[in-house]
Structure formats: C-alpha cells, structure tokens
Amino acid sequence: MECRKGCGMCCIEPSIVQPLPGMPAGKKAGEHCVNLDLSDYTCKIWGQPEYPDFCRIFKPEPEFCGSTRTEAEQILRFLESSTRPDGRSGRV
C-alpha cells in the first residue's frame, strides 16, 4: 500500500529504542518524533543523510496502517501494549 497522506501514526504511537536525530534516547509510545512535521504529518528529514535506516526499512502495510488514521492509531497502540513484557502501554 501507499503511505497515507496526513497520517504519521507510525511516528507517534510506537516506542522507538534506537536513537533518532534530535532524540538520542529514542522516543516513548504516544510521543511524536521531533522530526515529524505536525502541520502535515510528514517526516522533515525524509531523504536526508540522517534519515534513520529503521525508518527506511519500515513499509506501510494494511496490517499496521489500517484503512484510516484512526485505525492505524488503534492498531499500533494495541501492538505497542501487547509487545511490552509487562503488558502496559508505556505511553507518555
């Protein structure tokens, strides 16, 4: 599938343990990446040398992205909580 315009949920809902530009300790679940442009939910560093490899590898899939932004939020939030060893959301 094509990445949905105006979504950005994969840059908000999941926790990221790897360092991100501007976020050396990664980010918590529900915290938006500082590289996400909140005016249109696009990545401000896409295509730049500092764009992280793990962001490059992540591809849109209906299984994760759903068919709407709200569905993506729900799916990614559920996956985040269900993959934590303590079963908690760990959200900010």
> What residue ranges bind ligand SF4 (CB under 6 A)?
3-4, 7-11, 20, 33, 35-36, 43, 45, 52, 55, 60, 65, 72
| Of residues 15 and 89, the one with the C-beta less far from ligand SF4 | 15
Report residue 78 as tokens. 């559920």
The smaller minimum CB distance to ligand SF4, of residues 34 and 84, is found at 34
Which residue number, 48 or 84, has a Cβ lying nearer to ligand SF4? 48
| Cα angle 8-87-23, degrees, rounded to a multiple of 5 | 40
Q: Are 32 and 22 in contact (CB under 8 A)?
A: no
